[in-house]
A and B are shown apart, each in its own frame.
Chain A
Amino acid sequence: AQSVTQLGSHVSVSEGALVLLRCNYSSSVPPYLFWYVQYPNQGLQLLLKYTTGATLVKGINGFEAEFKKSETSFHLTKPSAHMSDAAEYFCAVTVGIAGGTSYGKLTFGQGTILTVHP
């Protein structure tokens, strides 16, 4: 079974400041990891994903995340926050086809609401 923990349900930063959203996962097999963003009253949009290979993954809107197996983490960062980054962010994990009964199923964290102050 897999699980995801997002540390901090609310994060507040000033415009131009570093954004750091924390995600830790638990998985018995090598995971695939995702970050999604959700703007108010909209669906989830894929920001970035880690599958295999390079552990530093770059996504849309200037976000990136680093897979650290030893720390079971996949934290999301952006060097300089913009007002338009205010949204809710979800970390998710799946084990893909190698996971047997977990095939195709995403497990989501509880979400982190990012507020950006001018």
Chain B
Amino acid sequence: SQTIHQWPATLVQPVGSPLSLECTVEGTSNPNLYWYRQAAGRGLQLLFYSVGIGQISSEVPQNLSASRPQDRQFILSSKKLLLSDSGFYLCAWSDGLGGTETQYFGPGTRLLVL
């Protein structure tokens, strides 16, 4: 069966510091991968999605970037964090074969920027 991991679970970072959040998927090949942010009272916002290694699409302009160095690894980064980057970050995958494109979510990373 497929599983998705995210780490760290919780992170407290000062403003201006760098960020690296990691997401890995097991039990599937060539998945589509997604990064979402969930800010308090604002629902889920799609940040990035990837349909293959090195292929990243950004949904909104922001202080963050994403990379996919391996088939089942998706990394969310920032060079300098802003207060507004605080939130709950969710990684998700889908099977990449089209059709219903059901997305399955990881446990999330809670980021607090102070």
A residues within 8 Å of B by Cβ? 32, 34, 36, 41-46, 49, 51, 90, 94, 96-97, 103-106, 108-111
Assembled-state Cα–Cα distance A41/B49 (Å): 23
In the bound complex, CA of A111 to CA of B88 (Å): 15
Query: For the complex, what is the distance from the CA of A106 to the CA of B92, rounded to whole Å?
Result: 11
CB closest chain-A residue, reference B43: A110
Q: Which of B43, B49, B106 touches A105 (beta carbons < 8 Å)?
A: B49
Q: Contact: B43 with A97, CB < 8 Å?
A: no
Q: Which residue from A45, A104, A109 sits with its C-beta under 8 Å from B51? A: A104
Report how far A97 CA is from B100 CA in the complex, Å.
Answer: 8
Contact A103 B107 (CB under 8 A): no
- Cβ of A22 to closest chain B Cβ, rounded Å: 16
* Count of chain B residues with a beta carbon within 8 Å of a chain A beta carbon: 25
> Are A97 and B90 neighbours in the complex by a CB distance under 8 Å?
no
Can you list 21 A-B contacts with CB-CB less than 8 angstroms, sorted by A residue number? A32-B100, A34-B102, A42-B108, A43-B108, A44-B90, A44-B105, A46-B104, A90-B43, A94-B100, A94-B101, A96-B99, A96-B101, A97-B98, A97-B99, A103-B98, A103-B101, A105-B46, A106-B46, A106-B101, A108-B43, A111-B43
Task: Kindly state the separation between the CA atoms of A90 and B111 in the bound complex, as whole angstroms.
Answer: 22
Report whether B102 and A49 are in contact in the complex, using a CB–CB cutoff of 8 Å.
yes
B24 adjacent to chain A (CB < 8 Å)? no
> Nearest-CB distance from B23 to chain A (Å)?
11
Considering only CB atoms, which chain A residue lies closest to B102 in the complex? A49
Question: What's the nearest-Cβ distance from chain A to residue B108, in Å?
Answer: 5
Q: Which residues of B contact A96 (CB under 8 A)?
A: 98-101
Whether A104 lies near B32 (C-beta < 8 A) is yes
- Residues of chain B within 8 A (CB-CB) of A42 are 107-108
Task: Determine whether B28 belongs to the interface, using a CB cutoff of 8 Å to chain A.
Answer: no
Interchain nearest-CB distance for B71 vs A (Å):
16
A91 CB, nearest partner CB in chain B, Å: 11
B112 to chain A, nearest CB (A): 13
